[in-house]
Amino acid sequence: MGKQKKARKYATMKRMLSLRDQRLKEKDRLKPKKKEKKDPSALKEREVPQHPSCPPYHILVDTNFINFSIKAKLDLVQSMMDCLYAKCIPCITDCVMAEIEKLGQKYRYRVALRIAKDPRFERLPCTHKGTYADDCLVQRVTQHKCYIVATVDWDLKRRIRKIPGVPILYISNYRYNIERMSDDYGAPRF
């Protein structure tokens, strides 16, 4: 003989009394809500629409930052946006572009050149003599303090730290991080 099938009841609940049920005592009942009259002299609360508080960040990219990003398998623009929580415009100077072109034809350097020629990158022309990118970046940042400098070069970091108000973007643990600004600029201490 076969087993008898028992119907299982799923998600069954005890029936509950409504708070407006007539069987409840007066003190336990839900009192009907009264409409409050609006006072015209009272201050009105309203929601303020949220707008992005910052313009897109302009980030000066160094040669070795691109190479280390390729090595860490990071998409430059997307990783910058993930780090800064805002729209980012990577900027590349002619000196950095020349440095990447001088590196040669190894696979990683060809990929770096292709990334540097991406249309999302803004090209900045250089008017000075020579193609030493570190001097170019330091000079541009001292003239216009509206940039974030993306580098992993210790010497360039040390030089930029001396300029107050210029943040540094670097790579650690396969992700981008931003260095805290110096106390000279009046950055808040956490």
Q: What does 72-111 look like in DSSP terms, one character per residue?
A: TT--HHHHHHHHHSS-EEEEEEHHHHHHHHHT-S-HHHHH
Residues of the chain with pLDDT under 50: 47-49, 51, 190
Question: Distance between CA atoms of 34 and 102, rounded to whole angstroms?
Answer: 78
59-180 CATH pick, 3.40.50.620, 3.30.43.10, 3.40.220.10, 3.40.50.1010: 3.40.50.1010
Please say whether the dihedral angle defined by the alpha carbons of residues 163, 76, 96 and 107, taken in this order, is positive or negative: positive
The per-residue pLDDT for 18 is 74
The per-residue pLDDT for 133 is 92
The per-residue pLDDT for 38 is 66
Extended beta strands in the chain, E state: 57-61, 88-93, 122-124, 147-150, 168-172, 175-178
Question: Distance between CA atoms of 94 and 33, rounded to whole angstroms?
Answer: 70
The per-residue pLDDT for 190 is 45
pLDDT tens, position by position, 46-71: 544 454 556 799 999 999 999 999 99
The per-residue pLDDT for 104 is 84
Burial of 29 (0-12, 13-18, 19+ CB in 10 A): middle
Percent helix, strand and coil across the chain, each rounded to 5? Answer: 35, 15, 55
- Which residue shows structure tokens 């303090």? 145
Nearest by Cα to 150 from 85, 93, 106:
93
Question: Distance between CA atoms of 169 and 80, rounded to whole angstroms?
Answer: 9
